[in-house]
Structure 1
Amino acid sequence: MKKFLFFLILLFVIYLIGINTVPQYVESQRNPVKLAAPYTVSPEAQSLYDRLDFIADLHCDALLWGRNLNKREDRGHVDFPRMREANVALEMFTIVSKSPAGQNMQSNSEDAFDNITPLTIAKGESPWNWFSLINRTLSQSEALADFVENEGDKAIFIKKKSDLEKLIDARKSDNQVIGAMLGIEGGHALEASLENLEKVYAAGVRMIGPTHFFDNEFGGSAHGENGAGLSDFGKSAVQKMNELGIFIDLAHASPAIVEDVLNLTTKPVMVSHTGVRAVLDSQRNLSDAQIQKIAANGGIIGIAFFDMAVGEPELPNIIASIKHVRDLVGIQYVALGSDYDGSVAVPFDITGLPLIVEGLMKAGFSEAEIRAVMGENVKDFFLKNLN
C-alpha cells in the first residue's frame, strides 16, 4: 500500500512539473519569431505609425497555449502588454480546439491523432476538456473573459457595436485601453450542434471558420480530403450564424464552401488570415475570382504574416499581398490577419508592426491607405456590421 501511495504521489509531482514546463516548451518550439525585438524603422515610418488612431489584427491563437495574457512574456507573439506597446487597439483571439498530427497544407484526415488533446492535458485543464471539443472551446472563451476582467477598465470584450464604440471613445483619452474579440477556428468545435452554436455566441464568439485543417460536419477544408461544399448542417449553421450575428470566416475553407457561403449568406464575410494566389500559389490562398466575390459581398480580407501564406521573405510578400488586393478590388477590403501564436514562425511579433508601415510607405501607399490597412478598415467593418 505504501509503495502504491508513493507511486501516486510521484505521478502527481511529475504531472505538476509537466504542467509548468511542457506547454511553455511546446509553445516556444511552435511559435518562433525569426527576428527578435526590439524593432527599428525609419523616423518617418515611426512617426506615421505613432499617428495611427486604430490598429487591429484579425487573427491570433494565443488562447491555445495557456499563457497569462495579462503578463508580458518573452515567448509567443501576443499578450496584452505587447498590444499596448504596439498601440494595437483590437485583437481577434481565435480558439483552436483540434489539430491533426502531421498537419500540412495539402491533405489532412479528420481521423488523424489530435495534437490538442495532449496539450490540453499537459496544461492541467479540467478532465471535462480532455475529450470534448465544445468544453475546450468554452474554456478558452472563459479564459479570454477572465483576462479582460483582470484589466479592469483598461480592456473591453467586444461583443456588440456599442462595445466597439466604447473602445473607440475610451482610446481618445487613453490609448492604453484595448479591445479583444473572440472567434473559433474550425466549426468542428460545435460538435454538429446548433445548440452549441448558441452557447458559444453567449460566451462572446463573434466569428467562426467552418473548417480548419480537416473536413468536418460543416463540409470540406482547403487542406482536407473531400473538397466538399457545405453540408446540410453547414447550411443550417450559416443561416443561424447570420441570425445571431456571428461572422463567417472563410480562411481554410474549401473552394466549394467559399462558393456556397457566398451564395447563402445574407451578411458580409471575413477571411481572417490568408494569402493570395497571385503572390503565393497555395491551395490555402485566395484566387482573384474569390477576392472579387468577397469584395462584392462587402467582406474583409486579413493578410497573414507567415511563409506558408505569403512566401519568403515574408515582409515584402505581405506588402505585395496587400497591394494585390488593393489593386484588384480596392483598399477598403484588406486588413492585417497575422495568425500570431498559430503554430507558425513569423518574421516579428506584434511589437514589430511598424515594419509593415515602413514596407507600405516604401511601396508607395498613401497615409490614408496605410491607416485603412492597419486598422481603419477593420473598425469600419465592425461598426457597420456588428449587431
Structure 2
Amino acid sequence: MKKTFLFAGVILALYLAGIAFIPPYIEAQRNPVTQSSPYSVSLEARQLYGRLDFIADLHCDALLWGRDLTQRGSRGHVDFPRMRDSNVALEMFTIVSKSPSGQNMKKNSSDTFDNITPLTIAKGEGPWNWFSLIKRTLSQSEALSDFVEKEEGNAIFIRSKKELEQLIEARMSNKEVIGAMLGIEGGHAIEGSLENLEKVYQAGVRMIGPTHFFDNEFGGSAHGENNEGLTEFGKSAIRRMNELGIFIDLAHSSPAIVDDVLDLSTKPVIISHTGVRGVLDSQRNLSDEQIRKIADKGGIIGIAFFDGAVGSPELPNIIASIKYVRDLVGVRYVALGSDYDGSVSVPFDITGLPLIVEGLMESGFTEEEIRSVMGENVKRFLLENLE
C-alpha cells in the first residue's frame, strides 16, 4: 500500500511539475519575437504615435497558453500591461480549440492528431476540457472574463456598442483603461450545434471564423481538403450569427466560403488576420477580387504580422500589404490583425507597434490615414455594426 501511495505521489508531483514548466516552454518555442524590446523609432514617429487616440488589433491567441494576462509576461506577444505600454485601446482575443498535427498552409485533415489536446492536459485543465471543443472554448471565454474582472474597472469586456462607447469615454480621461473582445478561430468549436452557438454568444463571443486549418461542419478551409463552400449547417449558422450580432471572420476560409458568406450575410464581415496575394501569393491570402467584394460589403481587413501571411522581411511587407489594400479599395477598409501569440514568429511584440507608424510615415501615409489604419477604422466599424 505504501508503494502504491508513493507511486501515486511521484506521478502527481511529475504532473504538477509539468503544468509549471511544459506550457511556458511550448509557448516560448511557438511564439518567438525576432527583435526584442525596447524598440526605437524616430522622434517624429514617436510623437505621431503618441497622438493616436485609439489603437486596435483584430487578432490575438494569447488565451490559448494559460498565462495570466493581467501580469506582464516575459514570453509571448500580448498581455494587459504591454497593451498599456503601447497605448492599445482594444484587442480581439481569439480562441483556438483545435489544431491538426503537421499544421501547414497547403492541406490539412480534420482526422489528424489534435495538438491542443496535450496542451490542454499539460496546462492542468480539468478532464472535461480534454476531449470537448466547446468546453475548451467556454473555458477560455471564462478566463478572459476573469482577467477583466481582476482589473477592477481598468478593463472592459466589449460585447455591445454600449460597452465600446464606455471604453471610448473612459479613455478620454484615463488611458490605462483597455478593452477586450472575444472571437473564435474555427467554427468546429461549436461542434455542429446551433445551441452551442447560443452558448458562446452568452459567454461574450462576438466574432467567429467558419473554418481554421481544416474542413469542418461549416464547410471548407483554405488549408483543408475539399475546398467547398458553406454546408447547410454552415448557412444556418451564418444566418443565426447575423441575428445574434456575431461578426463573421473569413480568415482561413476557402474561396468558396468567402463567396458564399458575402452572398448570404446581411452584415459586413471581418478578415481578422491575413495577407494579400498582391504582396505574397499564398492560398491563405486575399485576391484583389476578394478584397473588392469585402470592401463593397463594408467589411474590414486586418493585416497579419508573420511571414506566412506577408512574406519576409516582415515589417516592410506589413507596410506594403496595408498600402496595397489602401491603393486598391481605400484606407477605410484596412486595419491591424497581428495574429499575436498564434504559434507564429513575429518581428516585434505589441510594444513594437510604433514601428508600424514609422513604416507608414516612410511610405507616405498621411497622419489621418495612419490614424485610420492603427485603430480608427476598427472603432468606426464596431460603432456602426455592434449591437
Q: TM-score range by the shorter chain?
A: over 0.9
1:87 is matched with 87
1:163 is matched with 163
1:215 is matched with 215
Asked if 1:76 is matched to 2:50, the reply is: no
Helix, strand or coil: the match of 2:107?
A: coil
C-alpha distance in structure 2 between counterparts of 1:22 and 1:122, whole Å: 7
C-alpha distance in structure 2 between counterparts of 1:330 and 1:44, whole Å: 25
C-alpha distance in structure 1 between counterparts of 2:285 and 2:158, whole Å: 28
2:269 is matched with 269
Which amino acid letter does the alignment assign opposite residue 122 of structure 2?
A
C-alpha distance in structure 2 between counterparts of 1:265 and 1:129, whole Å: 32
Helix, strand or coil: the match of 2:273?
A: strand
| Superposition pairs of residues 202-241 of structure 1, within 5 angstroms | 202-241=202-241
Which amino acid letter does the alignment assign opposite residue 127 of structure 1?
P
Which amino acid letter does the alignment assign opposite residue 234 of structure 1?
G
2:182 is matched with 182
1:200 is matched with 200
**TM superposition shift of 1:265:** 0.2
What are the superposed Cα offsets for residues 111-130 of structure 1, whole Å, 9 maximum, x if unpaired? 01000000000000011000
Which amino acid letter does the alignment assign opposite residue 329 of structure 1?
V
1:336 is matched with 336
**TM superposition shift of 1:134:** 0.1
What are the superposed Cα offsets for residues 244-278 of structure 1, whole Å, 9 maximum, x if unpaired? 00000000000000000000000000000000000
Which amino acid letter does the alignment assign opposite residue 264 of structure 1?
L
**TM superposition shift of 1:5:** 1.4
Helix, strand or coil: the match of 1:199?
A: helix
C-alpha distance in structure 2 between counterparts of 1:294 and 1:7, whole Å: 59
| Superposition pairs of residues 96-175 of structure 1, within 5 angstroms | 96-175=96-175
Helix, strand or coil: the match of 1:153?
A: coil
C-alpha distance in structure 2 between counterparts of 1:348 and 1:120, whole Å: 27
**TM superposition shift of 1:74:** 1.1
Which amino acid letter does the alignment assign opposite residue 18 of structure 2?
G
2:41 is matched with 41
C-alpha distance in structure 1 between counterparts of 2:364 and 2:357, whole Å: 11
Which amino acid letter does the alignment assign opposite residue 12 of structure 1?
L
C-alpha distance in structure 1 between counterparts of 2:206 and 2:102, whole Å: 29
C-alpha distance in structure 2 between counterparts of 1:256 and 1:2, whole Å: 62
2:254 is matched with 254
| Superposition pairs of residues 349-368 of structure 1, within 5 angstroms | 349-368=349-368
Helix, strand or coil: the match of 1:77?
A: coil
C-alpha distance in structure 2 between counterparts of 1:68 and 1:155, whole Å: 14
**Unaligned stretches of 5+ residues in structure 2:** none
Report the identity percentage: 76
Q: Provide TM-score, normalisation by structure 2.
A: 1.00
C-alpha distance in structure 2 between counterparts of 1:317 and 1:277, whole Å: 12
C-alpha distance in structure 2 between counterparts of 1:286 and 1:34, whole Å: 26
1:286 is matched with 286
Helix, strand or coil: the match of 2:182?
A: strand
What are the superposed Cα offsets for residues 90-147 of structure 1, whole Å, 9 maximum, x if unpaired? 0000000000010000000000100000000000001100000000000000000000
**TM superposition shift of 1:2:** 1.7
What are the superposed Cα offsets for residues 34-84 of structure 1, whole Å, 9 maximum, x if unpaired? 000000100000000000000000000000000000000110000000000
C-alpha distance in structure 2 between counterparts of 1:349 and 1:99, whole Å: 23
Helix, strand or coil: the match of 1:21?
A: helix
Helix, strand or coil: the match of 2:153?
A: helix
Which amino acid letter does the alignment assign opposite residue 286 of structure 1?
L
**Unaligned stretches of 5+ residues in structure 1:** none
Asked if 1:385 is matched to 2:381, the reply is: no
Helix, strand or coil: the match of 1:280?
A: coil
Name the count of aligned residue pairs. Answer: 387
C-alpha distance in structure 2 between counterparts of 1:297 and 1:144, whole Å: 31
**TM superposition shift of 1:177:** 0.2
C-alpha distance in structure 1 between counterparts of 2:7 and 2:192, whole Å: 41
C-alpha distance in structure 2 between counterparts of 1:40 and 1:54, whole Å: 21
Helix, strand or coil: the match of 1:370?
A: helix
C-alpha distance in structure 2 between counterparts of 1:231 and 1:9, whole Å: 50
What are the superposed Cα offsets for residues 285-320 of structure 1, whole Å, 9 maximum, x if unpaired? 000000000000100000000000000000000000
**TM superposition shift of 1:4:** 1.5
RMSD: 0.3
C-alpha distance in structure 1 between counterparts of 2:289 and 2:3, whole Å: 67
C-alpha distance in structure 2 between counterparts of 1:2 and 1:233, whole Å: 55
C-alpha distance in structure 2 between counterparts of 1:198 and 1:299, whole Å: 24
Which amino acid letter does the alignment assign opposite residue 104 of structure 2?
N
C-alpha distance in structure 2 between counterparts of 1:37 and 1:236, whole Å: 46
Asked if 1:297 is matched to 2:297, the reply is: yes
What are the superposed Cα offsets for residues 175-232 of structure 1, whole Å, 9 maximum, x if unpaired? 0000000000000000000000000000000000000000000000000000010000
Which amino acid letter does the alignment assign opposite residue 263 of structure 1?
D
1:10 is matched with 10
Which amino acid letter does the alignment assign opposite residue 219 of structure 2?
G
Helix, strand or coil: the match of 2:156?
A: strand
Aligned structure 1 segments of 4 or more residues deviating by more than 4 angstroms: none
